[in-house]
Structure 1
Amino acid sequence: MKFQLPVFMLLVALLFACQPDSTVTPQNSTVNVIKIAVSNTPLSAPLFIAHKKGFFKQHGLNVELIEHEGGVKCFEALITEQVDFATASETVAMFNSFYRSDFAILTSFVESDNDIKLISLSAKKYQNLASIKNAKIGIIKGSASEFFFDSLLILHHQQDLPLERVYLKPNELLAALENGEVDAISAWEPLGYQILQRSQNANQVMSTKGLYNLSFNLIGLKQNQVSLKDRQSLLKALSDAIDFISENPTESQLIVSQTLDMDLQQLRYLWKDYSFRVSLSNALVSNIQSQAQWAIDNRLVLKDNRIDVRMIIDKQLFESAISQHQDEH
């Protein structure tokens, strides 16, 4: 039996309509997932906001954020290839540069000159730096916590002060201080705020605002499966998130507060010390170089393993991504 022409044409049209459109990506498309190890601190705000507000998706990325306690753990996840990228301070990058050069900083996305503090539970006993003589100090080894503490001693000519360093994990600091295992801790936020709120006896041994300018960075392995285009898109998404933070500080704080399950008042207290921007400045290079010299002087690393800092900074990727982003806007 022969089809009538109108019926035949209708069937052909329906057949073509059922074919997948190669120009459209379906919602359940298996776009490669990019995994980022993120330190669960407000410093990671641009990544939380890029994820929540859809900036990663707008740039064609499928991103999964995996939270860890601190930048050291994030970097460990990176080098063991559990993730594609990690967030960490420049101190973590500096220490690791003595042992490997297969990673690179893609961008810094936030700075703070008041994120790390020296906190005790004996306000009367520990009123200044000299008073911590013979004290036990809780420190996170190989991190900004350790560099900050040594910088504090050097600045006040107390580097020969007798004391005991107790190396702890980030999630062990508060308990160690409250249980009397240490007399003070060199801790980043929000740990400092938490202990100050939990105990009336807690105090900041001395004001350290402006002493140390910490940066948080996006770091990746030089050889990975993420394309150049997607790496550029990551930086563009972070830039969009930072623009959003600047224009919508209240909503941004609410997003971060909910993401970290942090008290909003606590977050607002910390927020004023943060400067969000994507950058790879000469100040970052200088900071890493000075920290590397400190690590050598204190025999924390082998001098012979020192590399040129520029080997672990992907300036070319950064400049290409920012140039493209500016052209698109």
Structure 2
Amino acid sequence: MRVLGIFFVSILSYVVACDHATKPNTKAAKSAPPITIAVSNTPLSAPFFIAEKMGYFTENNLKVELVRFDGGVKCFDALINKEVDFATASETVVMFNSFQRTDFSVLASFVESDNDVKLLSLTPEKYRQFDHLAGARLGIIKGSASEFFLDSLLIMYNKTHLPITRVYLTSTQLMPALLDNQVDIISAWEPLGYNISEQIEQSPEIINSRGLYHLSFNLIGLKQSKVDTNRKLALLKAISDATIYIHKHPKQSQELLSQVLEIPSSQLEYSWADYTFRLSLSNALFSNIQTQSQWAIDNQLVPKENRVDFRQIFDRQLLETFNNKEAGW
């Protein structure tokens, strides 16, 4: 009986030990410093706002602070200046910065849109024929997705020879310049399409360019990060949980974002169907960045000799580990 008792005590100790091993160390997670993430004030950042409001960070034993900025460039700068642990930014921001430094990594893309950047006008019917762009004044943001999109359109329609006037503006100047007749057309991303549609009775989009340019927003971190791998994986899990919620509850997600961003729900409805929320690091994203980098070199926006192998800034291993863990492998 003494031997049998020792046997059962041993079995019980083993079960308890295994149970503790499989449970996350919540005490350690709570004592760890909060993870700070620079997020752009845009619906594209929806998974982070959803994760915060629905408690997915907490459920994954994370303490997270979202630091909001206007635009991915400011988010990236906050990361490089070590004001935050992670940042969200478009692939264009990633591309331009890769010519200056390689001490950061793209951990995952969390949203894509193939209809976010458009050519917009107050008189769109005037430019339905692409030849009619001849002599037009186009407001664009130099060295950005705005200019890349315009050049891609001109190349695709074999209209690079058209005499157009490029008026370089900041993102905040685009819409006022259009409304004040300083330019005829702007190459811009949402929500300017929605904002202009509120000013005129028809769609301001000149041409259906869906699928021509794929915008993505990505989670970026420094290679030398104080956040360990386990917490990075937990962060991806929280974002994944948020994307699942977005797919299952689109209306509730839009209502929540409307409150967080303080924008009308009609603005979210305008472009919501264009967004694809999912965690990925696809070959399409890699090719997109390569294409944009060649465009930047051709237009002398970056020094050719600083060109890098983009595989250096894609952390595929982390996302693969996460996917394998989710699949139970």
TM-score by length of 2: 0.86
Distance 1:220 1:93 in 2: 11
Partner deviation per Cα, 1:136-186 (whole Å, 9 max, x = no partner) = 322233332222121111111122323333333323322222223332211
| Correspondence list, 1:61-72, <5 A | 61-72=62-73
| Correspondence list, 1:111-122, <5 A | 111-122=112-123
Q: Show the counterpart of 1:56.
A: 57
Q: Does 1:224 align with 2:225?
A: yes
Q: Show the counterpart of 2:74.
A: 73
Deviation of 1:218 (Å): 0.8
Deviation of 1:116 (Å): 0.9
| Correspondence list, 1:307-322, <5 A | 307-322=308-323
Deviation of 1:133 (Å): 2.5
Q: Show the counterpart of 1:109.
A: 110
Q: Is the 8 A contact 1:91 1:147 kept in 2?
A: no
Query: Closer, same or farther in 2 for the Cα pair 1:81/1:136, shift >3 Å?
Result: farther
Q: Show the counterpart of 1:4.
A: none
Partner deviation per Cα, 1:97-118 (whole Å, 9 max, x = no partner) = 1111111111011111111111
Q: Show the counterpart of 2:168.
A: 167
Q: Does 86-95 or 119-128 show the bigger shift?
A: 119-128
Q: Is the 8 A contact 2:143 2:296 kept in 1?
A: no
Q: Does 1:192 align with 2:193?
A: yes
Q: Show the counterpart of 2:100.
A: 99
Distance 1:155 1:304 in 2: 28
| Correspondence list, 1:173-252, <5 A | 173-200=174-201, 203-252=204-253
Provide the aligned length of Structure 1 versus Structure 2: 305
Q: Does 63-72 or 252-261 show the bigger shift?
A: 63-72
Deviation of 1:57 (Å): 1.4
Deviation of 1:323 (Å): 2.1
Distance 2:83 2:172 in 1: 21
Secondary structure at the aligned position of 1:170 is classed as coil
Q: Structure 1 residue runs of 4+, over 6 Å off? A: none
Partner deviation per Cα, 1:234-257 (whole Å, 9 max, x = no partner) = 111111111111111111111112
Distance 1:108 1:55 in 2: 18
Q: Is the 8 A contact 1:236 1:322 kept in 2?
A: no
Q: Tell me, which stretches of 5 or more residues in structure 2 are unaligned? A: 1-24
Q: Show the counterpart of 1:133.
A: 134
Deviation of 1:119 (Å): 0.6
Q: Tell me, which stretches of 5 or more residues in structure 1 are unaligned? A: 1-22
Q: Show the counterpart of 2:43.
A: 42
Distance 1:84 1:24 in 2: 20
TM-score by length of 1: 0.86
Identity of aligned residues (%): 55
CA RMSD for the aligned pairs?
Answer: 2.2
Distance 2:143 2:222 in 1: 19
Distance 1:178 1:282 in 2: 39
Distance 1:141 1:68 in 2: 21
Distance 1:270 1:88 in 2: 19
Q: Is the 8 A contact 1:91 1:142 kept in 2?
A: no
Distance 2:65 2:26 in 1: 22
Q: Show the counterpart of 2:266.
A: 265
